[in-house]
Amino acid sequence: MLETTTLAGLHDYVVEEVLRRFASPGQMAIDLGTGSGALAVRLRALGWNTRAADINERGYKADVPFAKVDLNDRGFAAQLGEGTFSLVSAIEVIEHVESPISFLRNVERMLKPGGVAVITTPNVDNAPARVKFLLSGKVRMMDEHSEPTHISPIFWDLLVRQHLPRAGLQVSEHLLYPRRGYKNTRKPYGWALRPMAWFLRGESLQGDNHVLVLQSKGTG
């Protein structure tokens, strides 16, 4: 099995809870920011006619067709195929790009009518993130101790109120991983923060990652 750099268990969760339900043998799928190609291989195993794309060729290890693409390019959809894909996946990618709205616009352009995009990103709205920002003024999983290429935190309110409408997308499903609690927080702190999640406002107070199923606006 190819290695991944995402939070432990995230790929398994996305495959079992989301991607397996949308499996459509023979239809086109593409994994953006594919890294080693681990998810692309799993998409192919579900029956998709799969492609993979990333700017880094050296790290790619899968035997799935690959395209070298800069996801910061404002027109990368044209390079990969507009209106081509029934599924576009981007697992822990959007927080690495310079313009999340531009990235989402390209994702929308790549979708066939009725197609879906499955996107995940660190949850910077959860209880641990709120406490961290209150105490330090820094965004959880985006500070100097985190992955240095994390440059675009995705805040839930801005995503659904501004980013997605501007990109022509809408949320079809919103899940959190893990569903309850946190894997990226020390257990004693995690247990202490759970009661806070009951009293604060918002639907993203638990879970380390957002898992989103998106469709073109007006679809579904």
Instruction: Give the domain ranges of the chain.
Output: 10-216
pLDDT along the chain (220 residues), means of 10: 76 96 96 97 97 96 98 98 98 98 98 97 91 91 92 97 98 93 60 60 84 87
Give the 3-state secondary structure of residue 206.
coil
Name the pTM for this structure.
0.91
Q: How far apart are CA 42 and CA 62, in angstroms?
A: 10
Q: How far apart are CA 98 and CA 91, in angstroms?
A: 16
Give the 3-state secondary structure of residue 20.
helix
Q: At what angle do helices 127-136 and 187-199 cross, to 10 degrees?
A: 100
What CATH number is given for 10-216 in this structure?
3.40.50.150
Residue 36 is predicted with a pLDDT of 96
